[in-house]
Amino acid sequence: MFPDRLREGYRAFLGARFPQEQSRFEELAASGQKPQIMLVGCCDSRVAPEAIFDARPGELFVVRNVANIVPPYQPDGEKHGTSAALEFAVQALRVQHIVIMGHGRCGGIRAYVTDDEPLSPGDFIGSWMQLVEPAAKAAGPRGGTPIADYVEKLGMMSVIKSIDNLMTFPCVRILHERGKLHLHGCYFDVTTGVLQVLDKASGMFHPIEPEARARVSLFRAIPEN
């Protein structure tokens, strides 16, 4: 049986949001989608980009996977869902921005750090999370850092490495170098609701709203020499 929660949610949608957005849906049906922003986020149920950014239908082209990872360009004939979505967004939809959004308390990142289940070597998620390894090397050893702090640091570094991987895609690199495609990183804290944005020059994530600064601990994702 179809889940009752979804039935209830759909009834609420029909009764409230759809009447408000009906003209928008009709416009999108007639003209097609033309989002300016692609967002790669985690499939964690607590981190919904459309809710966080108060997005209307058609405004965001969202791709979600475990730990919001963009893999490197690898045209090997295998199936690559995130890469296919990226190619579609850039070449067909002509998005102007790509945002990689990490988040606090990411279960995938924590499992990588602690080597917990279900990261066994023979299944899908274990293989997928191996993509975090370059970020872990760049973040440096955990040492005596509390695990919660290290998970946050690695999550931020993984966002940076995903931006690096974006640049391995020829369609992304060419448009970025021409100034027609802009790449961004951000990090959302589930508990506080604070959104931090990556400053690429410093490797630091800073709250996008100044009044939120006192509510977060800032981590430098890129280790200082």
Q: What is the domain partition of the chain in residue ranges? A: 1-32, 35-215
Give 123 or 189, the one with higher predicted confidence: 189
Is residue 222 over pLDDT 60? no
**Beta-sheet pairing, 182-188 with 97-103:** parallel
Please name the helix (run of DSSP H) or strand (run of DSSP E) that holds residue 40, with its range, or none.
strand 37-42
pLDDT of residue 125: 86
Quickly state the pLDDT bin for 195 (edges 50, 70, 90).
very high
Whole-angstrom distance, CA of residue 137 vs CA of residue 223:
11
pLDDT of residue 42: 98
Quickly state the pLDDT bin for 127 (edges 50, 70, 90).
confident
pLDDT of residue 187: 97
Is residue 132 over pLDDT 90? yes
Domain spanning 35-215: CATH 2.40.70.10: no
pLDDT more than 70, % of the chain? 90
Whole-angstrom distance, CA of residue 110 vs CA of residue 61:
27
Q: Cα 131 to the chain's mean position, in Å?
A: 14
pLDDT of residue 211: 66
pLDDT in tens, 25-56: 999 999 999 999 999 999 999 999 999 999 99
pTM score, whole prediction: 0.91
Are the C-beta atoms of residues 129 and 108 closer than 8 Å to each other?
A: yes
Are the C-beta atoms of residues 214 and 203 closer than 8 Å to each other?
A: no
Structural tokens at position 11: 């009834």
pLDDT of residue 219: 54
Return the bridge partners of 206, or none. Answer: 197
Span between the terminal Cα atoms of the chain, in Å: 57
Quickly state the pLDDT bin for 60 (edges 50, 70, 90).
very high
Whole-angstrom distance, CA of residue 86 vs CA of residue 62:
10
Whole-angstrom distance, CA of residue 22 vs CA of residue 67:
34
pLDDT of residue 146: 94
Are the C-beta atoms of residues 164 and 177 closer than 8 Å to each other?
A: no
